[in-house]
Amino acid sequence: MTVRIIVEDSTSGRVVRVEGRLTVLEIGELECVLGDDPTGTALELRELRSADAVAVALLRRLRDSGASLRNVPPRFAYDLDE
């Protein structure tokens, strides 16, 4: 498995679970799921196993655009804050 993206919509908002390995090859799928406005969307990253530099840059942009990043694995937290 490279990446699995699961969307959960509820009255409390949208949660997008990202599981596996997120690379430049899969970021288009994630961007498509999120649409033009990620504000209010929570990205659940507990099961994220790896992310290349392009994927980390996307996660950073999404966070800066209003998405919240939940349960970021410690190995990615530093890269996201740079």
* CATH code for the domain of 18: 3.30.750.24
The range of the structural domain enclosing residue 60 comes to 3-81
Distance CA 35, CA 1 (A): 24
pLDDT at residue 54, as a whole number: 96
Residue type present at position 24: V
pLDDT range class, residue 19, cuts 50, 70, 90: very high
Residue with tokens 């799928």: 29
The mean pLDDT value for 50-69 works out to 94
pLDDT at residue 1, as a whole number: 62
Q: How many domains does the chain have?
A: 1
Distance CA 31, CA 58 (A): 9
The rounded percent of the chain whose pLDDT value lies above 90 is 74
